[in-house]
Amino acid sequence: MTTDAEQTPQTADLDLIMRIIPHRYPFLLVDKVRDVVANTSATGIKNVTFNEPHFQGHFPGAPIMPGVTIIEAMAQTSAVLVGLSQDLVDKKPLVYFMNIDKAKFRRKVVPGDVLEMHIKVLRASTKVWKFEGTAMVEGEVAASAEFAAMIDRNARVTA
């Protein structure tokens, strides 16, 4: 049975995100996670800035956020969703991609954009989770994918 507390949307600020996932600059690709409904869905926010290192080479004079980093931002949002759903704050488990399917890229993401990653849980278990993600900018779909990840509660980040 689902309790009202489990269905009340939560928000994770940057401090809480870093207590759940091990990613740090320059590879932390989510600034906030909002509308978290345990075991169900969440929305990640990434403020895209020109100062990010991938823009030096992708592409000089025409900076575009690489598609793989958009998918990684969706995955990091998903990891925060799992962390909040499974009480993994401060437990520092590692999360590994298992597969990425149906990836599509529809719109460029450039400095100044606010990228919203809408994540929906397709399947959840103790170890393996499957997600559907849609990344949007100003109401337009930038990218979408289905992906699965494994949560390794025994592997720990020590730093």
Q: Share the mean pLDDT of the chain.
A: 93
DSSP letter at 138 equals T
Domains and CATH numbers, the chain: 4-156 (3.10.129.10)
CB-CB contact of 146 with 135 (8 Å): no
Let me know the angle formed at the C-alpha of 121 by 145 and 82, rounded to the nearest 5 degrees.
110
Scanning the chain, the segments in alpha helix (DSSP H) are 4-7, 14-20, 67-85
**Mean pLDDT confidence for 2-17:** 78
For 29-60, the pLDDT digits (tens) are 999 999 999 999 999 999 999 999 999 999 99
Q: Which of 23, 54, 58, 118 is catalytic?
A: 58
- Identify the pLDDT of residue 153: 82
23 catalytic? Reply is: no
Per-residue pLDDT at 156 exceeds 70: no
Mean pLDDT for the stretch of residues 87-107: 94
User: For residue range 64-79, what is the model confidence (pLDDT) as tens digits?
Assistant: 999 999 999 999 999 9
pLDDT exceeds 80 at position 7 = no
Rounded-to-integer distance, Cα 99 and Cα 145, Å: 10
Tell me what the mean pLDDT of segment 9-27 comes to: 94
Cα–Cα dist 13/142, whole Å: 23
Q: Are 12 and 45 in contact (CB under 8 A)?
A: no
pLDDT of 135 higher than 80: yes
**Range 137-142 contact pairs with CB under 8 angstroms and sequence separation of 24 or more:** 137/107, 137/109, 137/113, 138/113, 138/114, 140/106, 140/107, 141/106, 141/107, 142/70, 142/105, 142/106, 142/107, 142/108, 142/109, 142/115
